[in-house]
Structure formats: structure tokens, C-alpha cells
Structure 1
Amino acid sequence: MSDMTKSTSFDYTESHFASITRHGRDRIILTNLSEIEIADVHEIVRIFWPRGIDKVYPQKASREFKLGGHAWRYEPNGNEQAMMLTLRILEGMHGLGWVIYSPIEVTKSLSTKDALIFRKANHRPPPYEWLNVSFHGGDKLKILNFPPSDLVNDIMATFMIDIQRHDITPDRAKIKFKGYPWRPRKSDGAETQMKLLALLEIFDRHSFTLYTRTSARFTDERSESDVLVFQRRKGWAAEKSLHDQL
């Protein structure tokens, strides 16, 4: 275990619940995790955040990581590395048996992100595929973490007449819509909801379920919309094919 994650004053309580909070522009606070679990999260952050961890602050019942740079700073088109870091933390916690319970916003201070509340599962969950879906600038949709090509093609076909341009690579899909569907006028609210429902329908059709969402507010009120995290059990296609043959 790294010396950075050790603390003689750490007070860990055996509980079914724990939390991870992204705070300010550069902090991650872990509450009520064991030393081994903290070390695992520390390693995830060290690997997946390019600027690493500057400092670790031990508290009585929590551990605070100060990241290099400003991972949680507002960016108009979303900070892909920061979103992927959050996704890797969620994936890592899931692998440790900590399943998301709910994102909860307790404080109302600006630039405070919601706390991710986890519940310890009775059994370690099976492995899953993970996707990060985010909305930016009122007109952009971004899907990260190697979205399956059939899923992306389905999205493109469904919204064909609404798409202004797109950039598709193996690791991500970036789509710019005509107009500003994520920033609708009052009269366009129903149309925005129909687009969101159609998007959820596509993910459901490809056996992806909504795992959680994360959000943040910023002092200039240009807050990014919710970031959605989807998951699909690995090996789902083989299982589905077998079921269809019966």
C-alpha cells in the first residue's frame, strides 16, 4: 500500500454505505472506505488522471485527494479526461462490490458537485461494459468509452434529419444537433423530451441500462447538463443469441 494512502488517524466504520465527492476544481473526497479500498481508488486516479495526485489529506472518517490541474473546471464542450476519470472510479468501485445508491446534492454552494453514494453489495457484481453520455453547449451529444458501432449507427439513423455534423472514432461519438435541443425555449420543451426518450429507447434496445448520473453547477451558471452513465453486462450478446435459439 502506498504511503500516500496510509493514516493512523483514519476512522473507518464497517457500513453498507460510502461516498465519493468531487469538490471544488481539484478535489476528490472519499468517505467511509477501508484502507485497501482507498488504495485501490488512489491507483485508479493515479493511472487515469494525466496530472496525477498532488497531495493526500487524511481526515478522521475520510480521505481527500488534491489532483494536479483542475479536473472539475467548466469547459464548454466537456472535459473528456475528467469525465473518463469519474467513469473509471464508478467502474472501479463497482468491481470492489460498491454499487451506486444515489447521487445526492446536500450543499447548495456553487461549484460543488453531487456526492456519489454507494451501497456495499452482498456479492461482487459481474463485469459490465460502461458508457459515458454527456450533453454540452445546448446542441452537442458525446458518448465516450468505445461505444459499440451498432449503437452509434442506431443513434445516427434515428436522428438523421436533426444532426448538423458528427465525428465518430472507435473510442467516442460526438454529434452536433441542429438548433439547441438541450437549451429549449418554453414552446420546444416537449420536443427536447421526445429526443431524450428516443435516446433512452436506443440504449435500452441495445441492452444498456442507466446506472447513474452526475452533475455540477458553476458560478457563471453555464452548468453542463447531466452526465449519464450506462452499463451493459459483458457477454450479453451471446446470452441473447442463446435465448433467441430456444
Structure 2
Amino acid sequence: MSATTSSPSAPASAPSTCATLSFHKSDTIRLLSFPPDITSGLESIILACWPPGLESHGSFGQSYQYKVRGKPFGYYGTQHHVGGFRLLRDVLAFLYSRGWDLVTSLLCSRRYTAKDTLIFRQVVALRPAVEWLSLAPMGADKLRVVYDADGVRLFGMDSDHDHLGVLISGIKKVLEGLDYFEKGGWSHDSFEFEMKGRPWRSRGEASVKMRIMLMRVLETMEGHGWRLYSNFVQRTGSDEDRILDTWYFVRERVKVSTSVP
């Protein structure tokens, strides 16, 4: 009688420890492997921070997607771009508050319209409450600062608006020191610098100067308590123009006590 051998049983499929957030076309956010409370909870976040609202949402293959009205991830339209920065900032803040940490961003498509995919992992440790700010290089010569005060007082200053003014002055000083500063002003409830020399299209020795400027800006942000959380491509480019990363910063909230001694 011949002996029979049994093949080992396949191990049970382990639950995924990672999840992804990705951006598609000019108006779609797609979530993969997030639990149902995250995919459903995101609806109220989008409706609160994106005035045009939602076009549709539901399952898409093994993922769940939200399609919004307007074009937050499109190429043209400054107003939608600024709204898109706020939209993604609030999505990141929501995931952070639910214990999902961003591990890395990936460009995993060779299509010129591709945007980054963000990979998250859930963590158990408690994290401090933070606030958010984004820096967005735009066009060939612009840098936009998007920050919304939320009523907390930080670092002994009278208001968040005061802090933003000091931060903008610091960035302006960097640009002036490298002879980049052209002008600056407020639009779409954010501050936009316009720079000399089209730094985002620089080449040769000019590209070295541009990288020095980026290092100095990062040092200035860190000097004001901001830590770079992530940077990634969230907008559509063209076969002639690549879209630059948007930088997202976090800073721990420090509330001033209002109690009377």
C-alpha cells in the first residue's frame, strides 16, 4: 500500500495592515483597504471643506471612491487648486485623528496625468493634536501658503493670524536674501509669493540656487515649529508641464489657559 501525503493547508489570509488613498482624474478620491468607518466617515469631511459638494460615491472594484463636483486635482483653475489643498489637508487630518499614519507616497503610473498614491498604516500610540499648513509651488514662479486659524493661541502670540504674518515675513526674508522675491499678496484666503527668475523652471546653476531656497524655506518652517508631514503630487500635469509636490506640515497645538488664578 502506497503512503499518501497531504499538502499543507494554505495559511489563513491575514488582514491588511496598510491602506491607500489615491487621486484620479481631476475630481476623484479613492480609498483601498480602509475599514468601513473610515470610508463612510470621510463623506462629512468632504462636504464640510469642499463647497461644490459631492457628485457621487460608492464601491469601485475592491476600493471605495468619492467623486466631487469641480476639479480640485485638475491642472487649471487657481480657485479650485486652493480648495483642493484644503480638501486634502482635511482628509489627511481626519485620517491622522483616526490613527492612520502616512508611510510614504508613490508615483506608480507612467501616465503623464498620474498623481501620487499615499500608503497609510494604522497605529495604536496616542499622538498629540496638531494643526496643518500647506506650501504649494505653482506655475513657474509662485509659492502659496495655505493655513487656516482655528482659534487656538500658539507660542505666546496673540492670535494664529499673528503667527501666520510672522511666518510669511520669515519666508519673504529667505526669498529676498536670494533675490527671488518679486511681490506677495492675499488671494483665496491664502498668501501667494511671486518670485523672480521662474525658479520652478530653472536649470544649470540656477537650479542649484533654487534648491538652496527650498532648504532655507524648510529651515524657516522648522524654526516656527512646523514639521514636514508629507509631500506629494495631487494635481494633473501635462506631457509638457510636470506638476510639483505640495508640502503638508503639522505643528503641535499649544492652548493657552483662560482660567483665572
TM-score by shorter chain over 0.5: yes
Percent sequence identity is 23
SS of residue matched to 1:142: strand
Aligned position for 2:225 = 207
Distance of aligned partners of 1:83 and 1:123 in 2 relative to their CA distance in 1, 3 Å threshold: same
Q: Mapping of 1:118-197 within 5 angstroms?
A: 118-146=120-148, 148-160=164-176, 161-168=179-186, 171-197=189-215
Contact 1:26 1:69 in 2 (8 A): yes
Q: CA–CA distance in 2 between the matches of 1:38 and 1:190? A: 43
Aligned position for 2:250 = 231
- Displacement of 1:68 after TM fit? 1.4
- Displacement of 1:19 after TM fit? 0.8
Contact 1:142 1:172 in 2 (8 A): yes
Contact 2:142 2:194 in 1 (8 A): yes
Contact 2:32 2:63 in 1 (8 A): yes
SS of residue matched to 2:199: coil
SS of residue matched to 1:207: coil
- Displacement of 1:236 after TM fit? 8.6
Q: CA–CA distance in 2 between the matches of 1:71 and 1:82? A: 4
Runs of 4+ aligned residues of structure 1 deviating over 6 Å after TM superposition are none
Aligned position for 1:244 = none
Structure 1 position 219 matched with structure 2 position 216: no
Distance of aligned partners of 1:172 and 1:184 in 2 relative to their CA distance in 1, 3 Å threshold: same
Aligned position for 1:243 = none
Aligned position for 2:85 = 83
Q: CA–CA distance in 2 between the matches of 1:60 and 1:73? A: 24
Gaps of 5+ in 1: 1-12, 239-246
Q: CA–CA distance in 1 between the matches of 2:246 and 2:210? A: 16
Q: CA–CA distance in 2 between the matches of 1:226 and 1:93? A: 20
Structure 1 position 198 matched with structure 2 position 216: yes
The TM-score with structure 2 as length reference comes to: 0.79
Gaps of 5+ in 2: 1-13, 149-162
Distance of aligned partners of 1:124 and 1:63 in 2 relative to their CA distance in 1, 3 Å threshold: farther
Which is worse superposed, 229-238 or 88-97?
A: 229-238
Structure 1 position 62 matched with structure 2 position 63: yes
User: Which whole-Å deviations, capped at 9, do the CAs of 1:143-165 have from their partners, x for residues lacking one?
Assistant: 10237222111112232343111
Contact 2:128 2:252 in 1 (8 A): yes
Q: CA–CA distance in 1 between the matches of 2:213 and 2:239? A: 27
Distance of aligned partners of 1:170 and 1:154 in 2 relative to their CA distance in 1, 3 Å threshold: farther
What is the aligned residue count?
Answer: 226
SS of residue matched to 2:26: coil
- Displacement of 1:54 after TM fit? 1.3
SS of residue matched to 1:79: helix
RMSD: 2.3
Contact 2:133 2:250 in 1 (8 A): yes
- Displacement of 1:86 after TM fit? 0.8
Q: CA–CA distance in 2 between the matches of 1:100 and 1:194? A: 27
Letter aligned with residue 24 of structure 1:
K
Contact 2:74 2:236 in 1 (8 A): no
- Displacement of 1:112 after TM fit? 2.0
SS of residue matched to 1:230: strand
SS of residue matched to 1:57: strand
Contact 2:27 2:68 in 1 (8 A): yes
- Displacement of 1:185 after TM fit? 2.4
